Amino acid sequence: MSQLAQYIAEKRQQKPILSMTHVVYGYPSVQESLDWMATLLEAGADFIEVQFPFSDPVADGPTIVAACHGALHDQSLTVEQCLTDIGQLGRDYPQARIALMSYLNPMYRYGLEKLVKRCAEENIQGLILPDLPYEQAADLRTYCEANGVDPVWLVTPVTPKDRLAFLAKEATGFLYCVARSGVTGNSNHNGGDQQSLDEYLAEINSHTSAPIGVGFGIREKAHVDALKGKADVAIIGSALLDAYNKGGKEEGLKLFNNLFNS
């Protein structure tokens, strides 16, 4: 069994739903982003999804895009330093797990094989690359398998049924279920009516034994509560960043506690 899946299974014994909080590395500065991650881990976050910024984040909406551009504005961020920093964070908070999210190009430039090896060394057990579809990821899959790191595949409400079944079967650490069409966060690019989330999650559950994470558009306690019993991890990104932008760590923490500790 994958390390990540095992971690989720064990933690789920104690909690009806786990939290994965998203933070953009380097935003507003490297130190502040690391402080913010530590704060969330202190508050009991089960996962941090660390986004290494890319200049052209096409699956993200305005909040995260602005943070990525902000992070890249007048500092040069390296993948190596990011891995070292978040590896340390993971050692400081051994009860939680760190997943790395980015777009393909910065990872490709760094070297995919080296990336996976370094992730394993830093105990980063999950890798999320939204612009690397399964079919194009043969090399990455090989490296991941050899190093005990889980590549995280995404499925969406418009993924064809046979493909969904296939990806669900291939999922190891967890399967990332995108809750709706569109990009992350609140934007004018959000999809409209869809088959109900419950039905969609039931369909996915019927195909996989891997844990299920749900993200995109989770902003309120009701959204998190609605996932209990149907998914394992609630992934919260833009809403948390919106709160952080509004009132810093304090406001961000308030939202986190409201969603997961109340």
Partner 1 sequence: MQSNNGYYGEFGGSYIPEILYSSQQQILHAFEEAKNDPAFIAELKDTWQNYSGRPTPLTFCKNLTDYFGGAQIYLKREDLNQSGAHKMNNVIGQALLVKRMGKKRVIAETGAGQHGVATALIAARLGLECTIYMGAKDVKRQYPNVFWMKQLGATVVPVAEGAQTLRDALDEALRDWSSSHEDSHYLIGTTCGCAPFPEMVAYFQSVIGEEVKEQSQAQFGQYPDRLYACVGGGSNACGLFLPFLEEKEVEMIGVEAGGKGLELGQHSIRLSNGLGQKGIAQGFATMFLQDANGQLQETHSIAAGLDYVGVSPIIAHLAQEGRIQMTYAMDDEVVAACSLLLKKEGIIPALESSHALAGAFKDAPNLPKESRIVINLSGRGDKDIFNVAKAMNDATFPEFLEDYMADYKEHLNNEGEA
List 12, 114, 123, 131, residue binding partner 1 (CB under 8 A)? 131
Q: Is the dihedral of CA 182, 253, 39, 4 positive or negative?
A: negative
User: Which of the stretches 19-27, 43-51, 53-61, 85-93 binds partner 1 when contact is defined by CB under 8 A?
Assistant: 53-61
**Dihedral angle over CA of 203, 206, 207, 213, nearest 10:** 70
Is 158 among the residues that bind partner 1 (CB under 8 A)?
A: yes
Is 59 among the residues that bind partner 1 (CB under 8 A)?
A: yes
Question: Chain centroid to CA 251: how far?
Answer: 21
User: Which of the stretches 17-25, 105-113, 141-149, 253-261 binds partner 1 when contact is defined by CB under 8 A?
Assistant: 105-113
Distance CA 207, CA 210 (A): 9
Active site residues: 49, 60
Question: What is the rounded end-to-end Cα distance, in angstroms, of the chain?
Answer: 32
Distance CA 175, CA 69 (A): 28
List 7, 27, 110, 260, residue binding partner 1 (CB under 8 A)? 110
Is 2 among the residues that bind partner 1 (CB under 8 A)?
A: no
- Per DSSP, 254 falls in state H
Is 25 among the residues that bind partner 1 (CB under 8 A)?
A: no
Binding mask 69-88 for partner 1 (x = CB under 8 A): x--x---xxxx---------
Binding-site size, partner 1 (CB under 8 A): 46
Is 178 among the residues that bind partner 1 (CB under 8 A)?
A: yes
Phi/psi region, residue 124 (left: phi>0; alpha: psi -120 to 50; beta: rest), is: beta
Which residues ranging from 215 to 254 are in contact with partner 1 (CB under 8 A)?
A: none
CB-side exposure of 33: number of CA atoms within 13 Å? 25
Binding site for partner 1 (CB under 8 A): 54-62, 65-66, 69, 72, 76-79, 103-110, 130-133, 136, 153-156, 158-160, 163, 178, 181-183, 187, 189-191
